[in-house]
Amino acid sequence: MMDYYEDPYSPGLYQYETNRYPYVEVEHDGELFHAQAHGWKAGMFMITRIKNQLGRVDNGAKEALWVPATACTRIRSEDSTWVTTEDDHHWHINRDQMIDYQPRLKRD
């Protein structure tokens, strides 16, 4: 089973399945932050990050951005500075086992 699909209404846009959004470390516009990748198209990732983060577990307001794919590095959910309770946690546990990268931005 694939974890992503091509959006039928926007050819060339691929989206991850709901609640299976990979965590990424992003370096963009002079900032380093953690986000979730929701999809991609033509070398760009559509990401969301928490606005006004209150703690590690945060389901609050998110900001959506398009950033170059080269600005994103996949990280384990356990290393992210924030996570959401809406995640498919079993999916993340399985995927996280394949990632060796240690993020530069550390969680508290």
Domains of the chain: 4-96 (2.30.30)
pLDDT tens per residue, range 74-94: 999 999 999 999 999 999 999
> Nearest CA to 23 among 8, 33, 11?
33
Interval 13-34: pLDDT, tens: 999 999 999 999 999 999 999 9
Q: What is the pLDDT of residue 1?
A: 56
The secondary structure of 14-82 as a DSSP string is: EEEPTT-PPEEEEEETTEEEEEEEEEEETTEEEEEEESS--SSB--S-EEEEEEEGGGEEEE-GGGSS-
Q: At residue 54, does pLDDT exceed 90?
A: no
What pLDDT does 27 receive?
97
User: Would you say the pTM of this structure is higher than 0.95?
Assistant: no
What average pLDDT does range 31-57 have in this prediction? 93
